[in-house]
Structure 1
Amino acid sequence: MNLKPIFIRIKFNEMQAPHPARHQNRISRIASAIEERFPTTNRPEKIKLKHVNWVVNHWLESQNYKPATRADYINSLKLLIEALGRKDHWFGPLKIRAKGPGGRPRVSRVVKSKKYYRK
């Protein structure tokens, strides 16, 4: 699966060196797991709610990740969902909470305007 359009939309503003690569690696693993389980999903635009639901409910459980690693994968999955442009519709059914008011501001963000897609 070609994830270049997804990675172009995700901006890691002042995130320290290993963390952006970790997010990209996790998103790549999630996408390859989706493509392996659902072979017709060969482009990021074809990822549907049922695919992400399978990742959350089955794939993460079968990997036997510790809770901290699972939380990291959920955070990377949030970035993937936002980069796909489906945040508003998918966070509710997946029972993933968006960042609420207060707390530390996020370092990574997803660009919505095509004007800013360039690196």
Structure 2
Amino acid sequence: MIKAILARIRWNGLSELHQRRHTSRSAAMFNAIQQRFPHLKHPEQIQLKHIRWLKDVWLVQQAYADATQTDYKRTLALLISALEGDRHWQKALKIEKNSSKGGRPEKCRTIRTRRCQ
């Protein structure tokens, strides 16, 4: 399941180290989702409630340091984009980006595809 999601991400010059870190964090998150919700077999089956459980329950249970939790939330935002979760997901999870702040442009992007119906 994770290979299909990672195939939608374009790293655009992101260092190999950061790519591996995002990949390992996303693998840990998808493993947690699959253990908690074993009926999910395809990425298209992941819904907002599964991501909300991941952020609100699993991430808290891991008791990571604040910086590590921030890294996981950054990876989660990338995965939501790869899952084609819309702005509604980002608002519901309170991880939307404020475009008025400015800052560096993002290096990783996701490919938009048509979801299977």
Normalising by structure 2, we get a TM-score of 0.90
User: 1:63 offset after TM fit, Å?
Assistant: 0.3
1:3 aligned residue: 2
* Alignment map for 1:20-31 (pairs within 5 Å): 20-31=19-30
Deviations 1:76-111 (A, max 9, x none): 111111011113220011111225241110111112
* Alignment map for 1:1-119 (pairs within 5 Å): 2-101=1-100, 102-112=102-112
For residue 76 of structure 1, what is the amino acid of its counterpart?
Answer: T
Normalising by structure 1, we get a TM-score of 0.88
- Aligned-residue CA RMSD in angstroms? 1.4
Q: Distance in 2 between matches of 1:43 and 1:28?
A: 14
Runs of 4+ in 1 over 4 A off after TM superposition: none
Aligned identity (percent) is 40
Gaps of 5+ in 1: 115-119
Q: Secondary structure at the match of 2:99?
A: coil
- Relative to structure 1, the CA distance from residue 90 to residue 32 in structure 2 (aligned partners, 3 Å threshold; closer, same or farther) is same
Q: In 1, are the aligned partners of 2:87 and 2:96 still within 8 Å (CA)?
A: no
- Relative to structure 1, the CA distance from residue 64 to residue 56 in structure 2 (aligned partners, 3 Å threshold; closer, same or farther) is same
1:117 aligned residue: none
Gaps of 5+ in 2: none
Q: Distance in 1 between matches of 2:22 and 2:98?
A: 17
